[in-house]
Amino acid sequence: MGLDQPATSGLSRQFTLVNRDHFPRQNTLDMAKPSQLVVAPGTALEPRPKPAYFAVDQRVADPEKELRLRFETFVETRLGPSFLLSIPGGSVLTQGFFVADQDDNLLVDSFRAYGQVGRYGFNEIKPRVVQRNFPPSIPQRGSAIVLGIQTNANYFHWLMEALPRLWLANRFESLGKSVVLVPDLTPWMRDMLTATDVKPGRLALLSAEATSWETLAMPSRGLANIHTFTWHALQLMDMLRARVKIGRRCGTPAFRIQIEVSFAANRK
Question: Exposed/middle/buried for 96, CB within 10 Å: 0-12, 13-18, 19+?
Answer: buried
CA distance 43 to 41: 7
- Average pLDDT over the chain reads 84
Q: What is the pTM of this model?
A: 0.80
What is d(CA 215, CA 233) in angstroms, rounded to the nearest whole number? 24
Residue pLDDT, tens place only, 156-191: 899 999 999 999 999 999 999 999 999 999 998 998
Does the pLDDT at position 117 exceed 50? yes
* Closest C-alpha to 259, from 251, 247, 267, 250: 267
For residues 74-88, give the mean pLDDT: 85
Is 20 within 8 Å of 142 (Cβ atoms)?
A: no
Summarised one tens digit per residue, pLDDT across range 143-164 is 999 999 999 999 889 999 999 9
